[in-house]
Structure 1
């Protein structure tokens, strides 16, 4: 297979801080191939703490020499790719084989487009893609040798793994579970469920609890250099040794068997483009990289197969297959969601017009546009978010489906959850806050000192419209019933009109009218009378036919499409975190009681948002 004479690789000419010394070189010459070596076109590589430890601290000690401008050092031990050339004595592998490899200290340099490695350090797994395969060798071998070569773990024994959510710890848990050992591990509280999903039987919160008693026949194995001097064993337990990895294709083949048997799986945090290797090391050094969280193959979600009465057609299904993740998408574990009138409208009246298609038994439709939760997986091109982020989102019409345990959505629609809201509170926000914001800011273009009349100040959209307007410095007048007067006063409305007893305002006295869906004929029936001749009228939605403007006020339009985006949600977050706007929740329902939430919604008497808690 053809290959270029030169290639790109990361190298360093001096020991020192990685971010200063590590450079990408674009004209590195191909090495001559030894008789027992293979040349690999590297598709994926991974970064490890040992990389920067060698560069910044222990390189001279471990390698016995220093890099220079004439002889720069490569970096990286793990690689996955395709063999493009083989030495004359290579027996096992051939050109075209998909492989993964670990290099010894004498040959590291996998963070490059090509790598020459002895055949003995290379093998070929069958069920991993290149990214997955590149994440395996060093950490899996370290865990494998610790569990089996050193601790010699047997079925029925108990192992305590310190650092179960570390890259090595994750494999150690899985190897131990695979041989039938009982696994106890330490991890932070937020990672407890993750390590349990890998097979841990018991998790000790490393921030709050001490370890357990150890049997006097126990064995202690560490991957870290021992603190000196070493205290002698007091109770008979044995200090085996530190784990020094001795790479070989045989050991990689043993690991491959575990992986192909699905007893062990690779876990990836983030995939970076080659040009962003320094970003990967920066992330590694923070030790904040939360592992890609596991998730089930199927999940529960509400769907409908026909348009019609929501209470009749909407069903909870418990075997929905996980969607494939696109490169710019994120997978969300939904913690809470909310019900909205648009859900009912799409199912019962407007679905065909808005969506341009109908549901069926083979292609049922999902429901719901608001949710909050956690990111558990990110696509290869997702840049802003990371696994473990607490988020909230409004899905666009094309991706409805938040009334579910899991959701796949383009990253552009997902924002970090306001820091001062829990998941239920955050789920109450997106669609109503964005609708209010679109009406007040984008359509009405309200300015400080103006006056706005909001029809329906106690509606979910109206409550945010009142707060956003007040925060802008606008005088807020709103309509509501007498039972909701105190509620809208608490949101800082300046004047309240009881629509059950009073009509609106003096002629031509307000700059904007925002109808939150409660006075559909307002433009035709009298809104023009209260608007100044420069006034703006916004509604969701309009009653037809539309009467022409009589006095110069402008019918700006209907707020149908709020064009959801993370950027707009970030703006909303600023209002929330600064205390200028707050959510109002009427009731929180369990996931199984969604139909009760819709029944309440349809009464039009909920004082605030109806939230569904998917996972407590």
Structure 2
């Protein structure tokens, strides 16, 4: 089978297609024929080596995390899926990658594909869906009537998170460019700031929660819009000591992450807010609940562009430009 692999850290020059034997599922695993792969920003950060201290990636490694496809074989002990099932999953933070003709998926990471979505649409969901679900339901414990700030509303995570927040009964503030204002409003955003026209921190006030999705000084600026008791959950860092402890990291990394996050934690505390770094985890049971929202039409996929598998490297390069409206998806041959 063909797979897109990272041979060594350093960037896209070390990413290439290779021919590999078809894998065999072990206990508790599914062999999935991949029909589509949703790309995420971390798929470009891993080849640069940005996550070497966090992810235990063994090189060479197949890239990609999100997938939708058909179960071809199951390992011993699998009870929830059978051959022929259409599934979707995130296999992020596992030893496996999704940018391949076949992928190994842990049973607990998979869910049945939403019946109303095709494979391309389904593949666009797992990581952004799980990230938003875990951040808002577990970390923020977002309640009806509360206000949550989700910057970059037209991006992959933003388009999903806005819809989920509205489903949870929250009011949503976001930022976007002039061309995307109406699009994010159509997803349910209540307060939309065109960042090309005015700084969001001069307009928005009294927010209960912030989802940090943009690198740079945006997280610090967002602290100006929160009220006491608010929750600031960042997907882009800095990682904190609590994260290092949860992953069983050594004392040195706990100290390093504690130092890296000290400034933002201190700034948050001065506003009476809490800060946490969130690292998404695969969870098939949560994907099953998300599938229910997709099937009901409560949340809809937003896809910017679909690339053929042969152009997966070009798809990653396009995503890296940071201009996608929604998700970028790679589609594999259907034969």
* TM-score category, normalised to shorter length: 0.7 to 0.9
Which residue in the other structure is 2:4 paired with? 10
Question: Residue 205 in 1 paired to residue 194 in 2?
Answer: yes
In 2, distance between residues paired with 1:29 and 1:42? 15
Shift of 1:65: 5.4
Structure 2 segments unaligned to the other structure (5+ residues): 206-225, 239-259
Contact 1:217/1:238 (8 A) holds in 2: yes
C-alpha change, 1:30 and 1:164, in structure 2 (3 Å) is same
Question: Residue 53 in 1 paired to residue 41 in 2?
Answer: no
Which residue in the other structure is 1:22 paired with? 15
Which residue in the other structure is 1:259 paired with? 294
In 2, distance between residues paired with 1:133 and 1:107? 22
Q: 1:36 aligns with which of 22, 25, 28?
A: 28
Count of aligned positions:
280
In 2, distance between residues paired with 1:81 and 1:64? 26
Contact 1:160/1:185 (8 A) holds in 2: yes
Shift of 1:43: 0.6
Q: 2:139 aligns with which of 140, 143, 150?
A: 150
In 2, distance between residues paired with 1:290 and 1:253? 25
Deviations 1:548-600 (A, max 9, x none): xxxxxxxxxxxxxxxxxxxxxxxxxxxxxxxxxxxxxxxxxxxxxxxxxxxxx
Q: 1:94 aligns with which of 61, 78, 82?
A: 82
Which residue in the other structure is 2:272 paired with? 236
Shift of 1:66: 5.2
Deviations 1:314-362 (A, max 9, x none): xxxxxxxxxxxxxxxxxxxxxxxxxxxxxxxxxxxxxxxxxxxxxxxxx
Contact 1:161/1:186 (8 A) holds in 2: yes
C-alpha change, 1:136 and 1:12, in structure 2 (3 Å) is same
Which residue in the other structure is 2:176 paired with? 187
In 2, distance between residues paired with 1:102 and 1:224? 18
Question: Residue 225 in 1 paired to residue 237 in 2?
Answer: yes
Shift of 1:84: 0.6
Q: 1:112 aligns with which of 100, 110, 117?
A: 100
Contact 2:152/2:176 (8 A) holds in 1: yes
In 1, distance between residues paired with 2:40 and 2:30? 23
CA-based RMSD of the aligned residues comes to 1.6
Counterparts of residues 61-140 of structure 1 (less than 5 Å): 61-64=53-56, 67=59, 72-124=60-112, 125-140=114-129
Shift of 1:105: 1.5
In 2, distance between residues paired with 1:163 and 1:36? 38
Contact 1:170/1:198 (8 A) holds in 2: yes
Which residue in the other structure is 2:148 paired with? 159
Which residue in the other structure is 2:243 paired with? none
In 1, distance between residues paired with 2:178 and 2:3? 39
Structure 1 segments unaligned to the other structure (5+ residues): 1-6, 293-379, 381-616
Q: 2:303 aligns with which of 268, 271, 275?
A: 268
Secondary structure of 1:271 counterpart: strand
Secondary structure of 1:247 counterpart: coil
Which residue in the other structure is 1:141 paired with? 130
After TM superposition, the runs of 4+ consecutive aligned structure 1 residues lying more than 4 A away are none
The TM-score with structure 2 as length reference comes to 0.80
In 2, distance between residues paired with 1:64 and 1:152? 30
Shift of 1:186: 1.4
Larger radius of gyration: 1
Contact 2:303/2:325 (8 A) holds in 1: no
Contact 1:15/1:66 (8 A) holds in 2: no
In 2, distance between residues paired with 1:57 and 1:222? 20
Secondary structure of 1:101 counterpart: strand
In 1, distance between residues paired with 2:26 and 2:228? 50
In 1, distance between residues paired with 2:326 and 2:189? 15
Shift of 1:59: 4.1
Which residue in the other structure is 2:247 paired with? none
The TM-score with structure 1 as length reference comes to 0.44
Shift of 1:290: 2.8
In 2, distance between residues paired with 1:34 and 1:122? 15
Counterparts of residues 345-360 of structure 1 (less than 5 Å): none
Contact 1:15/1:59 (8 A) holds in 2: no
In 2, distance between residues paired with 1:157 and 1:10? 43
Shift of 1:143: 1.2
In 2, distance between residues paired with 1:54 and 1:117? 20
